[in-house]
Amino acid sequence: MLTRRTFSSLVMLLMLSGGTPALAQDQSIVVASTTSTQDSGLFDHILPVFKAKTGIDVKIVAQGTGQALDTGRRGDADVVFVHAKAQEEKFVEEGFATERFDVMYNDFVLIGPKSDPAGIRGTEDIAAALTAIKDKEAPFVSRGDKSGTHSAELRLWKEADLNIETAKGQWYKEIGQGMGAALNTASAMNGYVLSDRGTWLAFKNRGDLEVVVEGDKRLFNQYGVMLVNPEKHPSVKAEAGKAFINWLISPEGQTSIGEHKIDGQQLFFPNAEQARS
């Protein structure tokens, strides 16, 4: 099997010998990112613009944030583009990246059935809403996959003064899958689920689901991007990876992100410049 490290060594050997084969000219990178950026259609919108600008192909590996960071730790990606800031900062502290950049944000929304068995529709207090779901033992779907959304869900249970590990019962269903699967499960069982707004707007199989809670500042959802440290993994395509990151946080990249809409609704709000100011 041709590993990334072996591949990189072959390229270097050929370059040192004066050759310029197709391998040495490879202009592609692997980006480990979240299911939300993939399922929302963001990459389908922005990657053609980036390739037209640079000629660089981007292969997306869509995973939960925890898995995406692990992919970066193994050196199996050049760039990591996720949404769990505390975990991202730890990734930098551990030396797997040298710098992290804010790119964009949206928010989480609590989705639930129109019948609203917990009686929470319209509240902006996510902690009160989760407490009501637990008290009524209304069906709740958790991704349970160590993703950014799963991490946010666990944080919100804590902010509701609930230890979900001891509080959960048959009403709480962990599926260990991505956002699309979690929404499909909630639709099938008329349950509640925490979703990023982008994936919800792109989701078609809604059944009787709707947004029941939104607007709480605790539902803010920041995305960040990092180049995997080439000193830890020499196979990392540092220059092409930097080119992608620099484009994402450039005025052109930020405009492209902001232009991605579904039914006239903007899915992500660029804030790289705001973070730098």
Domain ranges of the chain: 4-105+222-276, 107-219
Two domains, one topology: 4-105+222-276 and 107-219? yes
User: Measured in whole angstroms, how far is the alpha carbon of residue 241 from the centre of its chain?
Assistant: 18
Collapse the DSSP code of 8 into the 3-class scheme (helix H, G, I; strand E, B; otherwise coil) and give the result: helix
Share of the chain above pLDDT 90, in %: 87
Q: What is the pLDDT of residue 273?
A: 80
76, 86, 122, 138 from 228: Cα distances, Å: 9, 17, 42, 42
Q: What is the pLDDT of residue 148?
A: 93
Collapse the DSSP code of 234 into the 3-class scheme (helix H, G, I; strand E, B; otherwise coil) and give the result: coil
Tell me the pLDDT band of 25, cut-offs 50, 70 and 90: very low
| CATH entry 3.40.50.261 includes domain 107-219 | no
* Alpha-carbon span 277 to 271, nearest angstrom: 10
The predicted model scores a pTM of 0.85
On whether the CB atoms of residues 157 and 176 are closer than 8 A, the answer is no
* Alpha-carbon span 140 to 111, nearest angstrom: 10
Give me the CATH code for the 4-105+222-276 domain, please: 3.40.190.10
φ, ψ at 175 (rounded to 5°): -110, -15
Task: Pick the more confident residue, 5 or 239.
Answer: 239
Is residue 127's pLDDT more than 90? yes
For the segment 25-52, the average pLDDT, to the nearest whole number, is 92
